[in-house]
Amino acid sequence: MINQWKDGQSPEDKDIQATLLEGGALPRHIAIIMDGNGRWAMDRNLPRAAGHQQGIESVRDIVKASSQLGIGFLTVYAFSMENWKRPRVEVQILMSLLKTYLLQEIDELHANNVRLQAIGKLNALPKNVQTILNESIEKTAGNTGLTLTLALSYSGRWDIVRAVQMIALDIRRGTLSPEDITDEHFSEYLLTKNMPDPDLMIRTSGEMRLSNFLLWESAYSEMYITERLWPDFRREDLYSALRDYLNRERRFGKTSQQLRESDEKEQQQGSIRRIISSFSSR
Ligand code: FPP
């Protein structure tokens, strides 16, 4: 029997989620740098692999909670391009965990309307991982709920350089002029082109770095850094991050006063529209 996430929630959890949903606009896109697996294992005198294994439990819970909350996009940094430099055995373990995760989870993700995607230099992954990944992506391609993106063999700088190369090719072919390159147009060349920029970027284990994750896309992301190590991070921690996010003022370079004024202007325009439509419907 496949678990339907909307049925299996405790009443307390439903209450917390309802309060969050009433608290304002939740992020459309959450990005997570899952860090601290090695330290979690070391603290327990366990091999690093045990930390990664436990980290998968956190992935499961956070995917489920995000889907229940109606979050549109969740992107997790599962393997960076720099991670290839780790000891061969650790890389093998991570690849094998990824494969197991996909094999075990894909039916449940699919049954819960999750669309799986991946970004990164995917052809660097072992062939068997590529096959399972592609099958999983294809299977869930038509789903309309949460989009779960795995960043695998990913580097933000690499994606930006790739985009610049493709832009240069288009200019050489004569299909693009340099004057037409805007922020929006540049974004179209990135692997993240079909997603909104992350509104909230979470990093676990207290490190204050972006580590080459979504460098272009995180220009205006709200950062939330917690000391919690990734294998201990569960939905309660996500809720804390969301509460914190709901209390932030996102200014996008403007002043607080400008934001208040544009809010007031929007409210006034809304009232005028309502008055006009009430007249036209008489
Ligand atoms: C960073 O912790 C974590 C990783 C490099 C891998 C993250 C992978 C998982 C959580 C499991 C696989 C993921 C999916 C989506 C199936 P670290 O090893 O750098 O920890 P440390 O800084 O404490 O050493």
The pLDDT tens digits along the chain (282 residues) read 788 898 889 999 999 999 999 999 999 999 999 999 999 999 999 999 999 999 999 999 999 999 999 999 999 999 999 999 999 999 999 999 999 999 999 999 999 999 999 999 999 999 999 999 999 999 999 999 999 999 999 999 999 999 999 999 999 999 999 999 999 999 999 999 999 999 999 999 999 999 999 999 999 999 999 999 999 999 999 999 999 999 997 777 887 787 778 878 887 887 777 777 776 666
**Cα gap 159→198, rounded to integer Å:** 16
**Cα gap 249→261, rounded to integer Å:** 14
Q: Are 154 and 77 in contact (CB under 8 A)?
A: yes
Q: Which of 34, 132, 211 to mutate to test the pocket of ligand 1 (most atoms within 8 A of CB)?
A: 34
Q: Does the C-beta of 97 come closer than 6 Å to ligand 1? A: yes
Q: Which residues are catalytic?
A: 35, 83
How large is the angle between the packed helices 235-246 and 48-69, nearest 10 degrees?
A: 50
**Cα gap 9→5, rounded to integer Å:** 7
Q: Which residues pair with 119 in a beta bridge?
A: 151
Burial 186-213 (b: 16+ CB within 10 A, else e): eeebbbbeebebbbbbbbbbeeeebebb
- Position 38, amino acid: G
Q: Are 84 and 115 in contact (CB under 8 A)?
A: no
Q: How far is the CA of 98 from the centre of ligand 1 (A)?
A: 11
Structure tokens at 176: 């693009």
Length of the chain: 282
Query: What pLDDT shows up at residue 169?
Result: 98
For residue 254, report the phi and psi dihedrals to the nearest 5 degrees: -85, 175
Question: Closest by alpha carbon to 226, among 58, 78, 24?
Answer: 58
Who's near 242: CB < 8 A, 6+ residues apart?
A: 20, 23, 26, 27, 69, 200
How large is the angle between the packed helices 48-69 and 88-111, nearest 10 degrees?
A: 20
Q: Does the C-beta of 34 come closer than 6 Å to ligand 1? A: yes
How many Cα atoms are found within 13 Å in the side-chain-facing hemisphere of 233?
Answer: 31
Q: How far is the CA of 114 from the centre of ligand 1 (A)?
A: 22
Q: How far is the CA of 203 from the centre of ligand 1 (A)?
A: 12
Which CATH class, in words, describes the domain spanning 27-248?
Answer: alpha beta
Q: Are 177 and 171 in contact (CB under 8 A)?
A: yes
Q: Does the C-beta of 225 come closer than 6 Å to ligand 1? A: no
Give residue limits of the domains in the chain: 27-248, 255-282
Reduce the secondary structure of 132-156 to three states and give it as a string: HHHHHHHHHCCCCCCEEEEEEEECH
Q: Does the C-beta of 36 come closer than 6 Å to ligand 1? A: yes
